[in-house]
Amino acid sequence: MIPVQQILTALCWLAILLAISPMIWLIVQPYVKGWSRAERRATNLLRDTLTPEQFHQLFWHGYLEVPSPTAPHRVYRVPRHNGYVQVFENGHATMRLCLQPVETLPDGDVVVLHKLMIEANEETYLQKANKYLCVE
């Protein structure tokens, strides 16, 4: 009976470790990967700019959903790393947007850049972006 209890205890600890490992990685990652000062500052800006729910979504799902300030059923899905910003209308992908800064920026700064541009002036954001329609 005792070996069964030990196995169950070990499995419970393994499940807990797997559940918290992404958060531990976020804390340890800057030091393990040798992040530059700019990348650490970008992550701090990201934490300060986003709500805890948005920060959680970005790091667990790999994207940040920014609701459109002008169209109630439109959502912009900004990726955590380089990639297209996807536009969803009524839950369906309608287009992908390509809009990048002229100079190289840390990923966290690019996410904040997209979020603030969409919220501040969505029309200009859409005018500047290269658009690729999604065909289903």
pLDDT tens, residue order, the chain (136 aa): 578 888 888 888 888 888 888 877 777 766 655 567 788 888 889 889 999 999 999 989 999 999 999 999 999 999 998 899 999 999 899 999 999 888 888 889 999 999 999 999 999 999 999 999 987 6
Closest C-alpha to 26, from 55, 53, 49, 54: 55
Q: Is there a contact between 35 and 29 (Cβ–Cβ < 8 Å)? A: yes
Q: Which residue do the tokens 């954001």 mark?
A: 125
In a domain, 26, yes or no: no
How many domains, in total, are found in the chain?
1
Q: What is the pTM of this model?
A: 0.72
In a domain, 27, yes or no: no
In a domain, 16, yes or no: no
Listed in sequence order, the DSSP H helices in the chain are 2-32, 37-49, 52-61, 107-120, 122-128
Measured from the Cβ of residue 114, the count of other Cβ atoms closer than 10 Å reads 22
User: Could you tell me the residue range of the domain that residue 103 belongs to?
Assistant: 35-133
| Per-residue pLDDT, 113 | 94
Pairwise CA distance, residues 12 & 30, whole Å: 29
Could you tell me how far CA 1 lies from the centroid of its own chain? 46
Pairwise CA distance, residues 92 & 122, whole Å: 19
Q: Could you tell me the maximum CA-CA distance found in the chain, to the nearest angstrom? A: 68
| Per-residue pLDDT, 35 | 60
